Chains A and B, each alone.
Chain A
Amino acid sequence: MAQSKQKIIVVGNGMVGHKFIESLVTHEDASQYSITTFSEEPRLAYDRVQLSAYFSGSTVDDLMLTTPSYYDEHGVRYLVNEKVIGIDKDAKTITTSSGLVEPYDTLILATGSFPFVPPIPGKDQDHCLVYRTIEDLEAITASAAESEVGVVVGGGLLGLECANALHNLKLTSHVVEFAPQLMAVQIDEGGGALLRQKIEALGVSVHTGKNTSEIVAGTERRYRMNFADGSHLETDMIVFSAGIRPQDALAREFNLTLGERGGIVINDHCQTSDPSIYAIGECALWDNKIYGLVAPGYSMAKAAVAHITGGDVTFQGADMSTKLKLMGVDVGSIGDTHARTEGALTYTYFNQPEGVYKRLVVSSDQQTLLGAVLIGDTSDYGTLLPMMLEKMPLPEQPEVLILPAVEGADNALGVAALPDSAQVCSCHDVSKGDIAAAVADGACDVASLKSCTKAGTGCGGCVTMMGQVLNSELEKMGVEVNDHLCEHFAYSRQELFDIIRTKQIKTFADLIDQYGSGMGCMTCKPAVGSMLATYWNEYVLSDKHIHLQDTNDIFLANMQKDGTYSVVPRIAAGEITPQGLITLGEIGKKYDLYTKITGGQRIDFFGAQLHELPLIWQELTEAGFETGHAYGKSLRTVKSCVGSTWCRYGMLDSVSMAVLLEMRYKGLRSPHKLKMAVSGCTRECAEAQGKDIGVIATDKGWNLYVCGNGGMKPRHADLFATDLDDATLLQYIDRILMFYCRTADRLQRTSTWMDNMEGGLAYLKSVVIDDKLNIGEDLEADMARVIDTYECEWKKTLQSPERLKRFAHFINSDATDDSLAYEPDRGQNKARIASKSMAPPTDAERIPVTIAK
């Protein structure tokens, strides 16, 4: 007789509740359990850590961690808008708000926490809000629309995020903090002071040491907050973000053991005082501690799953170190930041001009690291955290760990010294050993490590360290770790681009003469050819450049399997007149070309022989068509939907924008091909979020998405900026594309470029939007030169009888290639079927090894 399934009920479908379910349904014994989950919120689990992204344009969909179909697939029953209000521990049932009674064998409380609102008279009025759920955010947005001034009560991590949100909503924003400094839990006084300076410089006022005594009607604004010290502040709205309290109401009412100040007491297996009931996440109290971060919650979920399924993982507490970016300011907090350990000694580095503060807290014998504070520069976080966690021996002079690198000195201890157990990614609990194993299995760049270990895909704070572990493991395996372009150049592509730019080198001959050796090869020649074309934009078939051009570029057409070519004229944004279509049809018919509509909304002619290319292009250019660069590592197409000129739903004229973009960037040679799309509304018919550059119209302007990809490894584009006007949109795209051209590896699409970029999206934003590197104007000027010097390569080629000589199968005969043969298929020519022999991978299929410095 089959044993009936164990019934598991999960109360609360937040991040931790979902993690528990995800871990259990992917467990090998998953079939033994039937899971039901209840959420009092109207939707399934979403990413609360990224909540503030909602204000910078992310949608609820972007934030979702799971979908009904995922739960359906795994047989998980889910009820939203359904609050669990009763537990009968003896009968082992729960009761819900709608009167449902459900039996359980095991009950999981993952009820999370609620925002603490200090008991201030006047706190319950309209426009006095909290910051925790998507509904809260909607309320904040609505309130902001009727307000000019906003106050956040609470200067901790969440409070500052919330202040940033108000600032982004264009309110005059204030932070009111009870403690004498910001982020008093995580960082020391010195760090807090610098953080305050930086945040005030952004236009947010900070008031510390303020105890709000009442909220009354204001004279200038809606409310007046009176403080205990007699001062006051007027505001239109208030958001309370003064900490969290465990959501333990159910446990309290139904007699599970609680801590003195709340929280459901759990053991190392996350069991409560009733062994059939577990509590995980922010509602749980372990060793008298509430963990208000998601990573420890995930560890609890895993421990609970392990105990239920007979595994041996237990919860052993968690490190609360954290690294984040608050309003663009890098903040890192490790261990004992306040030097509270007995005898602790400190080292401090403070660089006021650059706004960098670093503090080390070490043991009294100066042998181990106890804690650290990093403000303005958290690049040492990845080195310091494992030193603290693993109690690694400190260098003789611990201060070298935070002093700026001086020429010739290497102050990093290196990840090679770390044990395999050292945690690299805290979001997904990935150890150095896990990464080493993935490298041994063949993952040889950060992007592939991300996809096979999940490391670096949470907050992204560990990506630098992943790169270091990757390099050290490759070195251990005897793989030569360098980023040289090939045997002819001991430089990376990025370094060569800098050389070309700064030394103003215009030819391959000069470059290899001064910076390389030998004659070049099929790797470096096209790469250098591409860089020269990006920077100088000279005619690629001139004598000095022609030998650098790869298979397709060298004849300005795409070679097909039989050595014939395909021809693609530009049809910007897919917009074409009926007469244009007729002309194309006539040309296709005349040269008997197989004709197909491409994925990029244009028309491709196949089966043109080499000698026919100039004839075909003569007719195309006479009819007003230009080259479509389908053969180049360059901008291909800008796809568009029909937009507001015709569509009932269109917000803006997507076709005009797509034409503008395509005409602006056509001919731009780049590390790999580039595709763009413009959609006229969020229905997204142009599929812009799967493109290198995606633009979507909203009622407030353009939203810009970057680094998406379809193809072999699809990647959803990242939202880069919202509500842009035309000029800003173009400015950002100019900068992003040129920065990509300068810094990507050869044949690296923008998606992998982004996945391998240290600092990721936030870094790209800081370069492009904040102009952190002070190269914005430079990038725009480089792009302007490319745009200004555009000429149709086919038009230019047709004007040169010398160049046209190459477009013949034989140099000494008018005969054509007699080996070509076609057979009819669905009314058109089809290339003969050659049995494709086993070929080594093409350049494009080789995975570049990218080395983090």
Chain B
Amino acid sequence: MLAETQIQTDWETVCQLDDITPFTGVCALVGEIHIAIFRVSDDKLYAIQNYCPFGQASILSRGIVGTVGERIVVASPLYKQQYDLATGECLEDPETTLTTYAVRVHDGSVQILN
């Protein structure tokens, strides 16, 4: 029981699933970190850092979500670099990888593993 309680406290609820329009993203503040959360097909969620190292601004949640081959990506709204939502890898510059975060839907709530 104790273990389960601990796990629940590690997941931080940031919003409701309904708050995210399908195929778009939102930005959540977790601690001091800006995290971009995207909702794609079948209500699958992805979370990566919101800060784009190329554009040097906190804006990735506002990008277009799509696919390149099998990879699900977001395109930076500033200069259009594309990032793999599963791994954080930048398609145009594989040296650059963004931080990814664990995200889930629990009882209709969107939660980030803190």
Residues of A within 8 A of B (CB): 487-488, 518-522, 524-526, 543, 546-551, 554-555, 559, 561-563, 805-806, 809-813, 815, 817, 819, 834-835, 837, 839-840, 842-843
Contact = CB atoms under 8 A, between A and B. Distances in A.
Main secondary structure of the interface of A (DSSP, over half): loop
Contact of A812 (B29, B59, B77, B79): B29
B108 interface: no
Given A547-B64, A561-B57, A805-B19, A811 B28 contact: yes
Contacts of A835: 56
Contact of A543 (B22, B65, B68, B78): B22
- Chain B CB within 10 Å, residue with most, of A547, A811, A815, A835: A811
Interface string B53-86: 1111111001111111100110101111110000
B24 interface: yes
B81 A561 contact: no
Nearest to A542: B21
B77 A519 contact: no
A547 B14 CA distance: 21
A559 B59 contact: yes
Given A809-B27, A813-B29, A547 B78 contact: no
Nearest to A523: B66
B66 A551 contact: no
Contacts of A524: 66
Nearest to A840: B92
Given A543-B22, A547-B64, A809-B27, A522 B15 contact: no
A809 B75 CA distance: 18
In the A-B complex, the 4 residue pairs with the closest CB atoms? A547-B23, A521-B66, A839-B79, A563-B57
Interface of B: 14-15, 19-24, 26-29, 34, 37, 40-41, 51, 53-59, 62-69, 72-73, 75, 77-82, 92
B28 A812 contact: yes
Contact of B28 (A550, A562, A810): A810
B71 to A, nearest CB: 10
Contacts, number: 115
A736 B55 CA distance: 38
27 contacts: A487-B69, A488-B67, A519-B72, A520-B66, A520-B67, A521-B66, A522-B75, A547-B21, A547-B64, A548-B64, A550-B64, A562-B56, A563-B57, A563-B58, A805-B19, A810-B28, A811-B19, A812-B14, A819-B57, A819-B58, A834-B57, A835-B56, A837-B54, A839-B79, A839-B80, A842-B79, A843-B80
A519 B40 contact: yes
Given A547-B24, A805-B19, A811-B28, A834 B68 contact: no
Contacts of A543: 21-22
Contacts of B29: 810, 812-813, 815
A222 to B, nearest CB: 70
B56 A837 contact: yes
Contact of B68 (A521, A526, A548, A550): A521
Contact of A551 (B53, B62, B81): B62
Contacts of B53: 837
Given A519-B66, A811-B19, A812-B28, A559 B92 contact: no
Given A546-B21, A563-B58, A563-B78, A811 B66 contact: no
A539 to B, nearest CB: 13
A817 B72 contact: no
A554 B62 contact: yes
A461 B77 CA distance: 42
A635 B72 CA distance: 33
Nearest to B73: A521
Contacts of A549: 64
Given A519-B40, A840-B92, A810 B27 contact: yes
A853 B59 CA distance: 41
A557 to B, nearest CB: 11
A551 B78 contact: yes
Given A810-B28, A812-B28, A840 B62 contact: no
A518 B53 CA distance: 28
Nearest to B26: A811
B80 A522 contact: yes
A561 B76 CA distance: 12
Contacts of B69: 487
Contacts of B23: 519, 547
Contacts of A839: 54-55, 78-81
A551 B92 contact: no
Contact of A562 (B26, B57, B80, B81): B57
A842 B78 CA distance: 9
Contacts of B82: 522
Q: Which of A520, A522, A819, A837 counts the most chain B CB atoms within 10 A?
A: A522
A769 B88 CA distance: 54
B91 to A, nearest CB: 10
A840 B52 CA distance: 14
Contact of A519 (B15, B63, B67, B79): B67
A563 B77 CA distance: 9
A255 B80 CA distance: 73
A519 B64 CA distance: 11
Contacts of A834: 56-57
A40 B15 CA distance: 83
Contact of A555 (B62, B67, B79): B62
Contact of B55 (A526, A561, A806, A809): A561
